[in-house]
Amino acid sequence: MNGRAGYTPVFLRFPIFLPMLSRSLGFLFPLALLTACSSMPPAPVSSGAVSHSYPVPTAQGAISFSPEPVSALPDWQRQDLTGSLRALRQSCRVVAREPQWSAPCQGVTSLTDADNAGIHQFFESRFTAWRMHDGARDSGLITGYYEPILNGSRSQSAATPYPVYGVPSDLVSLTLPASARNAGALVARRVTANRLALVPGAAVAAPGQVAVNPADFPPEARAQLKGRIEDGRLVPYYTRAQIAAGMGVDHAPVLAWVEDSVELFFLQIQGAGRIQLDDGSILRVGVADNNGYGYQSIGRWLADQGEMSLGAASMSGIQNWVRMHPERQQALFNVNPRYIFFRTMPDSGEGPVGALGVPLTDGYSIAVDPHYIPLGTPVYLATTQPHSQSPLNRLVHAQDTGSAIRGALRADFFWGYGAEAGLNAGGMKQAGSMWLLLPNGTTPSL
Which pLDDT belongs to residue 27?
32
Crossing angle for the helix pair 82-95 and 99-108, to the nearest 10 degrees: 140
Residues 254-259, mean pLDDT to the nearest whole number: 98
Numbered ranges of CATH 2.40.40.10 in the chain: 1-168+257-446
| Helical ranges in 167-254 per DSSP H | 240-244
Residues 6+ apart with CB under 8 A from 322: 262, 328, 329, 332
Indicate the CATH number for domain 1-168+257-446.
2.40.40.10
The band of 59, judged by pLDDT with boundaries at 50, 70 and 90, is low
The band of 39, judged by pLDDT with boundaries at 50, 70 and 90, is very low
pLDDT score of 128 more than 70: yes
SS3 content of the chain, % helix, strand, coil (to 5): 25, 30, 45
More confident residue, 384 or 347: 384
SS3 175: strand
The band of 314, judged by pLDDT with boundaries at 50, 70 and 90, is confident
Digit-coded pLDDT (tens) for 190-201: 999 999 999 998
Cα-flanking dihedrals φ and ψ of residue 232, to 5°?
Answer: 75, 10
Digit-coded pLDDT (tens) for 344-353: 998 878 888 8
Digit-coded pLDDT (tens) for 214-245: 999 988 888 899 999 999 999 999 999 999 99
Which pLDDT belongs to residue 426?
84
The band of 61, judged by pLDDT with boundaries at 50, 70 and 90, is low
Q: How much of the chain, in percent, has pLDDT values that exceed 70?
A: 86
Pairing, β 378-384 against β 162-165: unpaired
What number of helices (H) and strands (E) belong to the chain?
A: 10, 23
Q: What is the pTM of this model?
A: 0.74
Which pLDDT belongs to residue 348?
78
Assess contact for 338 and 240: CB atoms under 8 A.
Answer: yes
Which pLDDT belongs to residue 123?
98
pLDDT score of 295 more than 70: yes
HSE-CB of 308 using CA atoms within 13 angstroms: 22
**Stretch among 86-90, 211-215, 218-222, 272-276 having the lowest mean pLDDT:** 218-222
pLDDT score of 246 more than 70: yes
pLDDT score of 290 more than 90: yes
